[in-house]
Amino acid sequence: MFELGRTFGCEEAWVGTEPDNLAARKLYESRPETGEPAQDFVMYVYEL
């Protein structure tokens, strides 16, 4: 995903998870690209 994004000129990528999903957070934080720490945000989910 990161390499494809770079190919298309993207400057950043983001993923979201629940604050208590420690396994996902550990995975995301293990990436060498990790920059700023996670921030609180509001995400809207629509079932289709």
Structural tokens at position 1? 């995903």
What's the Cα-to-Cα distance from 9 to each of 6, 13, 46, rounded to whole Å? 5, 11, 28
Whole-number Å distance between alpha carbons of 46 and 24: 22
pLDDT at 40: 74
pLDDT at 4: 93
pLDDT at 23: 93
Q: Report if pTM > 0.75.
A: no
Tell me the pLDDT tens digit for each residue of 1-48.
888 999 999 988 888 888 888 898 888 888 887 666 667 777 777 777
CA angle, 17 as apex, 5 and 23 as ends, to 5°? 100
pLDDT at 18: 82
pLDDT at 32: 83
